[in-house]
Amino acid sequence: MEKSIRKLCYLSLFCAIAIVLSYIETLFPFYLGIPGAKIGLANVVTLTLLLCFGFKEALIVLLLRIMIVVMAFTNLYMFLYSLAGGILSLFIMFIFNKTKLFSHLIISIMGGVFHNIGQLLVAMCFFNSSVFIYYLPYLMLFGILSGIGIGMIGELIYLKIGQRITKMG
């Protein structure tokens, strides 16, 4: 019982942190000429949860974060972009993590790249146009760079608290 309460507290705390990170990111517009490109600070939480608890817990917190952030700070279109990018990113990171062949940094980079691919697919479907494919090289580069940053931060968090949490998960 105490173990499940502690796990719920950790998941709630991580969800709150992800919401705050998402909000902070909306306060500082970051524009490189690529529509929708963001660092994705809240993805640190998704990566950390995947490593510490697993896919199911990371997915639950991801979905809660997206729903709360959309209701509080953005709109329905951003919901679709966030949902597609977040779920595809988490799924790819889960697969790469499951193989045990890749470092956490590589897993994060793949998450960053596929997050952008998921959002690009939504834009292509929503606008019924393939013109957005021209953004792909820039989005991949941005996904790699943000994946490196997120991966480094996620690795630090995992090294500091991950093993303690993993024992309980």
Task: Tell me how far apart the alpha carbons of residues 27 and 23 are, in angstroms, rounded to a whole number.
Answer: 7
Locate 71 and state its tokens.
């209701």
| pTM, rounded to two decimals | 0.90
3-state secondary structure at position 38: coil
Per-residue pLDDT of the chain (169 residues; tens, 9 = 90+): 788 898 999 999 999 999 999 999 888 766 666 666 678 899 999 999 999 999 999 999 999 999 999 998 878 888 999 999 999 999 999 999 999 999 999 999 999 999 999 999 998 998 888 888 888 898 899 899 999 999 999 999 999 887 677 666 5
CA–CA distance, 128 with 132 (Å, rounded to integer)? 10
Q: What is the DSSP letter of 161?
A: I
